[in-house]
């Protein structure tokens, strides 16, 4: 682990596995997690020759948690600063859930800088909440209730949210481990990023993505229903859907072996 200064007084924890790997992939975690959610990808991809770069977003894990900067523009700028520092000519970018939304904003805002392939994993995009002209997403009342609960009882709010995360059973020790990751940041960063999830609209960003894009999603997802990946597929040219019939929001784990196979195959083209 090392730190990258992304703006004055703010440094983010970056993890670089197998830095001599032939192909580089940058992994962006979801809400309210940190880079550890990718444990079962980070165990495999370096063995396949990948250099794996991951980050704890501001406000999560081992990164600084400033009071501000939790909108997608600033979060995408943070990713840009890290990619600029890494110095490789090109890489794949992969984002899960909120991380997928950040990846989309990065591609539009920074003109796909150094990105050759994009993987959207259960992406919370283009709109996390249901809108009259954007099918899919959660009812705004449900998201507002989650935000209100975060202000009163964050552990319970995250626990309740997590009940819709996995479509397949997980063992109690795994569930405890995963919940520990969700509480790695302070309450205000969890709250502010939840507000960004609710308020952001990325539809205008989709047409600015031109690289090959894989849209990985679980057909049983109750957090980002299948209407969202279908909307992404229509809006992003050169995109392909990768449905997982037995997976929920945790597409990276519910069908672990199948996901890792399809994901690694996509990364090499």
**Could you read off the pLDDT tens digit of each residue along the chain, which spans 269 residues?**
999 999 999 999 999 999 999 999 999 999 999 999 999 999 999 999 999 999 999 999 999 999 999 999 999 999 999 999 998 999 999 999 999 999 999 999 999 999 999 999 999 999 999 998 888 899 999 999 999 999 999 999 999 999 999 999 999 999 999 999 999 999 999 999 999 999 999 999 999 999 999 999 999 999 999 999 999 999 999 999 999 999 999 999 999 999 999 999 999 98
Among 40, 255, 31, CA closest to 128: 31
Other beta carbons less than 10 A from residue 203's beta carbon: 16
Q: Nearest to residue 69, comparing CAs of 61, 79, 82? A: 79
Q: Are 47 and 114 in contact (CB under 8 A)?
A: no
What are the C-alpha distances in Å from 185 to residues 9, 31, 37, 130? 18, 10, 14, 27
Is the CATH number of domain 2-268 2.40.10.10? Answer: no
**Six-digit token string for 267:** 């990364």
- Sequence ranges of the domains in the chain: 2-268
The whole-angstrom separation of Cα 43 and Cα 47 is: 7
Element (H, E) at 202: none
Active site residues: 97, 221, 249
d(CA 201, CA 197): 9
Find the largest Cα–Cα distance for the chain. 48
């Amino acid at each position: 682990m090392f730190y990258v200064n992304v703006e004055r007084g703010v440094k983010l924890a970056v993890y670089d596995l197998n830095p001599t790997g032939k192909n580089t992939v940058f992994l962006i975690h979801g809400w309210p997690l940190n880079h550890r959610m990718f444990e079962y990808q980070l165990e495999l991809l370096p063995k396949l020759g990948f250099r794996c770069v991951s980050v704890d977003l501001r406000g999560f894990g081992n990164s600084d948690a400033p009071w501000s900067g939790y909108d997608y523009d600033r979060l995408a700028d943070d990713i840009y600063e890290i990619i600029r520092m890494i110095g490789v000519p090109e890489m794949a970018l992969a984002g899960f859930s909120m991380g997928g939304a950040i990846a989309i904003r990065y591609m539009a805002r920074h003109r796909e800088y150094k990105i050759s392939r994009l993987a959207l994993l259960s992406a919370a995009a283009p709109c996390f909440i249901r809108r009259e002209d954007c099918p899919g997403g959660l009812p705004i009342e449900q998201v507002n209730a989650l935000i209100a609960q975060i202000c009163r009882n964050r552990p319970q709010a995250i626990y309740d949210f997590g009940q819709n995360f996995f479509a397949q059973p997980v063992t109690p020790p795994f569930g405890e481990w995963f919940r520990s990751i969700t509480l790695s940041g302070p309450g205000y960063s969890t709250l502010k990023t939840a507000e960004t999830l609710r308020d952001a609209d990325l539809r205008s960003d989709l047409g600015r993505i031109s690289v090959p894009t894989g849209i990985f999603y679980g057909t049983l997802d109750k957090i980002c229903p299948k209407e969202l990946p279908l909307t992404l597929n229509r809006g992003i040219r050169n995109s392909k859907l990768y449905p997982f019939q037995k997976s929920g929001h945790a597409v990276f784990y519910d069908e672990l072996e199948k996901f890792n196979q399809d994901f690694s195959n996509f990364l090499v083209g």
